[in-house]
Structure 1
Amino acid sequence: MDITLFADNGAWHGYALPSEDDTDRLGSFTGPLYIAQEYAWFLSEGFTQLSLVDKQTEKEVPLADAEADIESYPGLLEQEFTLEGLTVRLRLRFVTDRSALVTARIENTGDTPRQLMAKWSGSLLPNQFDAPSLTTGQNGVRVTFDRVRETWSYMTSGEERFEVTHDAPVTTTISEDSYTTTRQPPITLSPGDTEQLAWTESYTLTSEEAGPEADKTKQIRSHPDEYIGSVEQRWDRYLDSVSNNTVDTYEEVGIKAVETLIGNWRSPAGAVESDGMTPSISYKWFAGGFWAWDTWKQAVGTARFDPGLAEQLMWSMFDHQVTEESETRPQDAGMIQDLIAYNTPDNGGGNWNERNSKPPLAAWAAWEIYQQNKNVDFLEALYPKLVEYHNWWYRTRDHDGNGIAEYGATVHPSNDSEEAIVTAAAWESGMDNAPRFDDASVLENRDNGNLVGYSLDQESVDLNSYLYAEKQYLAEIADTIGQSARADMYRRAADDVRGYIQTHMFHEDTGFFYDITTDKTPLIEARGVGRAIEGAIPLWAGVATEEQAEAVVDVLTDESEFNTYLPFPTVARSAPEFHPQSYWRGNVWLDQAKFAIEGLERYGYSQVATELTKKLFHHGEGILGDRPIHENYNPLTGERLNSPNFSWSAASLLTLSQDFL
């Protein structure tokens, strides 16, 4: 759905604003959207629509006819209505990880006293699973949910609850899937007087959550201004952290990026043990799970305004790191799996993905977080786990033991054919349908005769550039926590990887880096695979020689190659596989653009890096302005593609705006 959802504080539900033209919905916030464990669904078009009835005339105050101002601000949704003698201001903020606080401030701006009845009404949207149903709550209305286990569509336990509770006595009547709540007694306002109504809207996922959350919201409704102040202070900290640009236009992109990242923040629930970040609350498949390399990139962006939250994002993946005690896969000790979600496979989860990992950028992310808060305790706690993850790559993904890894797959029931293994390996690269994997074959990796994993029959330039960078970051971390001998070891190993990439993965004739076959032939020769964005990663990692970098920069800045209308397509425009609307065969992904730009900067091409950053911001549809940040973009037109409100795109834009604009 192309709609900008507002969520905050790690909540598992969110809201949107009605348009000023949608007069039937004024007085309510669109939604809520709620996450049925792993999938996003709308509960209502507007579940708590406020209406006011003038007691003297017994007529409804026509909010639909009022002068309406509908606005979204960082940390806040607002509707304000002005009509003769009355001003009504509705505001919604998230005050806990399960509850939003809504206030309605009603002011008598006329010359005569007013007596008003406040009412709220709403209806459930039809649901194919018939899961939600209405009942009266304690001083409000409640939605309960049946147990449904539709793995690829809708999952509830039967304990979920959405509850609206008011700060004053109310009566509620229910008719099938609709309700009306009336406040008792009426509101009496003398000229110039103001009355504030407050209610909470809570979405809890288990019975254990419901009781404590009810206690919290009782306190919130009693002291709303205290909790509003806390939310405002948090958002002021966020905005102060990103408001360091001199150009307002680019600063606004940074603020939009923060709003996107916070909107995709999910707090612990189900199998999720730490605060993490989903790719997009706006897209059904991306609302309830955490991906590994998404997390590393999102953490780097989040660290710019909330390093403590960024640390939690890292733990959200390392909480599930495979250990030697695993009964089913001890050979994968140290592995960080591709995807975790609310449900494990034992609980019916289909999105949980253990069959592959994702590119190793965790030490980079940890070091970037440390640069923001200098929390040595975080580095000390995470370092041994980073080491285990780094070692896992060489134990299970280095087929010939030469210190150069390959993308691959685990020994897993889902990896039951060569086709399945190639698919898992492509997923492991993060570039699911990239041309370089079209003709790949599978190699078995064994340790003392025991099968421990699979590799593709090609050594990937991005993977080994990432691993080179990880060694450098592990060395920095080791130095910081007092393990200088380990730091020296990692730097020596990094030198070996750098020499290998320079010698074998750079193709002199075309001036670019490529994956190579196991006999060290670049794929452009072995399989006719054209240039692709992974060839820029050696610059980001600092692996290339100065001469190699110069050749790569010539390709990156060539309008017939990567310097398209929107720069840095995933496959070069000259490549036979180029398709501008295909995921990893032509789309522009902003994380890869960020890596390319940072590579240009690293080798001294600062002016080019800034120029291409500006081109990216100005040519990407909606990057400037109030349109949502998207998953990827068309390189020839700048058109927004695929999921809106996408986290790693937001993280990339935030860091680019701060570092280059």
Structure 2
Amino acid sequence: MKFGKKKTLLLTFSLIFLAIAGCSRKEETTTKNQTQMSEATEPVDFLNIRHIPENPGDRDGFFYSDNGAWYGFALPPENEESFIGGFVGPYLIDRKEWISQQLIKLVVWDAFSGKRVRLKMLDESYHPGYLEQKLEIDSLTINLNLWFATEKTAFLRTELINTSHYFKAIILGLEGNVFSKKATPRVGDECIEIKLKNGGKFIIKPMEGSLYTTDYFIDGNTYLIKKKRMNMFPKLRFLNFFIISYVENDNQWKREKAENRVMFHQPEKMFADHKQRWQGYADKIFSSGSKWASGNEYQRIGMKSLITLMTNYRSARGALKHSGIIPSSAVTYFDGFWAWDSWKHAAALASIDGKIAEEQIFAMFDFQNEVGMIPDCVFPDAKNNNWRNTKPPLAAWAVWRIFEENSDTAFVKTIYPKLVKYHQWWFKFRDHDNNGLCEYGSTDGTKKAAAWESGMDNAVRFDEAKIVRNKDGAWSLTQESVDLNSYLFAEKNYLAQMAELLGKNGEAKKFHAEAEELKQKIQSMMFDEKTGYFYDIDLDTKKIIP
């Protein structure tokens, strides 16, 4: 279509930033690691998030999330013309449901005819850390980027460039819909509010300080935000931002605005910082000498693993007082933190983001009880926490991995007494005959929960075992497990190193001695010379269980 040729003065922004996945090999400022990152992170959709939900409970698709958010968005499948200009969702992770097929979609009108302009899709991609659509209208190019600025707020960035030699005038807007049984749109204070049926809401609004006044409209389960006319001079580049926030109530929205007021007034800097955060993650993964930097396939696996890990990152919410990684965003009941998953997540995060790794540790130890036990899993709604069993003791290993990366002695000092208490719990509540070799068990006397405690759940290794009572709320399987006692041996050595670090030399000496004693028991009682393997042993006879 053709645009009119009327000139009007317009204040513009013109900042250009380096995109993570667009680094050129010939760029003089590109480092070796950044070049490796570029090759590994070309927009090839590391995770398949192309999906349009048919209903709120649709679980056939996946989504993009970041920065600890409890909601996410997807990309529409290719050739879905009615979804061009926007992103699918959002999906509410805590509620396990979609509230919309498309809550945010860019709309463009010709300012002279008043007619809506058809957007042409050039490309859409899931980059590490953000979503992107590249659109075109005649000789006007539009780049859409969606990313999470905080755990509650996402930004929709619209970059418009008039590539022609002619003046153009357009009207920009945003529209969306909701599943009527789950949410209701209404006009709020210079924003659109999407009120959720079971509490909470989404706030959709233009960036504060916008140059253009805005009109808001509601029609049933749809809304429309319409800005005033924009005059695009030849070769002009213009930036526009919309905020999409998910909050539980008005007070939380006020806090979100107040805590991020400066940041929200510098959205382009926020986007640059956001991409740099992901660049920093990649630099650490693809550092010189790392196997992940040795070839394109390793780079792709490394980047896909990073994206998966950070997609599963959740901020503190409800009873969860610290942030952490959930085991999977693809399974609905994995909306909390599991103990030994958390230890492994923390170890993985140690070399990428030490602060998140520390948060992961604290998230579980927040629930440590008076006798030292850590529950199997914890959730935003604490009534769902599982205290029937714990999980294998890898916490000290994870803490030491974090310290090896960030040298945070204060963190070790804070967590050390909690680790000691948890370690001692095993010998007080999971050593039936007090011989220094522990067993997996449960708090409720069930064999099922005792198998869960091993992390192997329904493994056949426990088929012949029985469950015996140690004391009130403490039961053990009738086999002493080699993996459990090996973990405890390692824990004693890690605790000894922490004690030395903290100047607790007496405790360090004690843990070293205990580790040596436990090693001797494992080697003498659990090793079979004939087969050359270590085995679990029967609690009563001490015979190897083949």
TM-score bracket, shorter-length normalisation:
0.7 to 0.9
Aligned counterpart, 1:318: 365
* Aligned residue in 2 for 1:491: 512
Corresponding residue of 1:153: none
**Residues in 2 aligned to 1:28 and 1:220: alpha-carbon distance in whole angstroms:** 24
Tell me: CA distance 1:436–1:69, structure 2 relative to 1, closer, same or farther (3 Å): same
Counterparts of 1:510 and 1:137, CA distance in 2: 73
Checking the alignment, whether the CA contact within 8 Å between 1:516 and 1:523 is kept in structure 2 is: yes
Q: Residue 370 of structure 1 corresponds to which residue in structure 2?
A: 403
Q: Hey, what's the Cα distance between the residues in 2 that align with 1:242 and 1:182?
A: 43
Report what 1:20 is aligned to. Answer: 78
**Which of 118, 138, 146 is residue 62 of structure 1 equivalent to?**
118
Q: How far off is 1:271 after superposition?
A: 0.5
Q: Displacement, 1:207? A: 4.3
State the match for 2:26 in structure 1. Answer: none
Shift of 1:445: 0.5
Counterpart CA distance in 2 for 1:223 and 1:374 is: 33
1:230-379 equivalences under 5 Å are 230-244=273-287, 245-286=293-334, 288-323=335-370, 333-345=371-383, 351-379=384-412
- Tell me how far apart the structure 1 counterparts of residues 134 and 359 of structure 2 sit (CA, whole Å): 37
Deviation of 1:467 (Å): 0.6
Structure 2 counterpart of 1:79, one-letter code: Q
> In the superposition, relative to structure 1, how do residues 177 and 67 fare at CA in structure 2: closer, same or farther (>3 Å)?
closer
CA shift digits 1:207-242 (9 cap, x unpaired): 442211134566444321232233233222212111
**What is the distance in 2 between the residues matched to 1:104 and 1:59?**
20
Letter in 2 for 1:444: R
Whole-Å separation in 2 of the counterparts to 1:219 and 1:187: 26
Q: Tell me, in whole angstroms, the C-alpha distance in 2 between the residues paired with 1:372 and 1:206.
A: 39
Q: What corresponds to 2:438 in structure 1?
A: 405
Given that 2:84 and 2:121 are in contact with CA atoms closer than 8 Å, whether structure 1 keeps it comes out as: no
Please list every run of 5 or more consecutive structure 1 residues that lacks an aligned counterpart in the other structure. Answer: 148-157, 324-332, 346-350, 525-661
The code of the aligned residue for 1:189 comes to M
Secondary structure (helix, strand or coil) at the match of 1:473 reads helix
Structure 2 vs 1, CA of residues 253 and 3 (structure 1 numbering), >3 Å: closer, same or farther? farther
Matching of residues 646-661 of structure 1 within 5 Å: none
Over 3 Å counting, the alpha-carbon distance change for 1:270 and 1:456 in structure 2 is same
Letter in 1 for 2:64: F
Residue 528 of structure 2 corresponds to which residue in structure 1? 507
Residue of structure 1 equivalent to 2:489: 468
Over 3 Å counting, the alpha-carbon distance change for 1:438 and 1:483 in structure 2 is same
Equivalents in 2 of 1:275, 1:25: separation in Å? 33
SS of 1:120 mapped into structure 2: strand
Contact 2:99-2:182 within 8 A present in 1 as well: no
Cα separation, partners in 2 of 1:352 and 1:110, compared to 1, 3 Å: same
What letter corresponds to residue 239 of structure 1 in structure 2?
A
1:192 Cα deviation after fit:
1.2
Report the Cα distance in structure 2 between the residues aligned to 1:452 and 1:19, rounded to whole angstroms. Answer: 52
* Superposition deviation, residue 364 in structure 1: 0.2
Q: Report deviation, 1:82.
A: 2.8
> What secondary structure sits across from 1:116 in the alignment?
strand
SS at match of 1:60: coil
Aligned-pair distance for 1:303? 0.7
Which runs of 5 or more structure 2 residues have no equivalent in the other structure? 1-58, 288-292
Amino acid at match of 1:34: L
Deviations 1:143-194 (CA, angstroms, capped at 9, x unpaired): 12233xxxxxxxxxx2x121111134322222222222212x1111122112
Letter in 1 for 2:99: L
SS in structure 2 opposite 1:523? coil
Distance in 2 of aligned mates of 1:208 and 1:337: 32
Identity among equivalent positions (%) equals 36
Contact 1:199 1:221 in 2 (8 A): no
2:416 alignment partner in structure 1? 383
Question: 2:464 aligned to 431, 435, 439, which one?
Answer: 439
2:189 aligned residue (138, 141, 149): 138
**Structure 2 partner of 1:548:** none
Is the Cα contact below 8 Å between 1:15 and 1:32 reproduced in 2? yes
CA contact (8 A) 1:20 1:26 kept: no
Q: Are 1:517 and 2:542 matched, yes or no?
A: no
Residues 453/199 of structure 1: CA separation in 2 closer, same or farther (3 Å cut): same
Partner AA of 1:263 in structure 2:
T
Helix, strand or coil: the match of 1:173? strand
Letter in 1 for 2:352: F
TM-score, normalised relative to structure 2: 0.84
Pick aligned residue for 1:211 from 235, 240, 254: 254
Tell me the C-alpha RMSD between the 2 structures.
Answer: 1.8
Contact 2:121–2:133 (CA under 8 A) maintained in structure 1: no
Corresponding pairs, count? 478
SS in 2 for 1:139: coil
Q: 2:144 aligns with which of 90, 96, 116?
A: 90
Distance in 1, Cα, partners of 2:512 & 2:74: 50
Following TM superposition, by how much is the alpha carbon of 1:67 offset from its aligned partner in structure 2, in angstroms? 4.3
Amino acid at match of 2:278: W
Once the two structures are overlaid, the 10-residue window that deviates more, 242-251 or 81-90, is 242-251
The aligned runs of 1:24-63 (5 Å cut-off) are 24-36=82-94, 39-63=95-119
Contact 1:92-1:101 within 8 A present in 2 as well = yes
How many angstroms apart in 2 are the aligned matches of 1:206 and 1:425?
41
**CA 1:56–1:206 in 2, change beyond 3 Å: closer, same or farther?**
closer
Q: CA deviation at 1:440?
A: 2.3
**Structure 1 counterpart SS, 2:160:** strand
**What residue number does 2:206 align with?**
166
Query: Is it true that 1:177 corresponds to 2:221 in the alignment?
Result: yes
Residue identity in the other structure for 1:315 = F
Corresponding residue for residue 645 of structure 1: none
More helix by share: 1
Q: What TM-score results when the alignment is normalised by the length of structure 1?
A: 0.70
Q: Which amino acid in 2 is paired with 1:455?
A: S
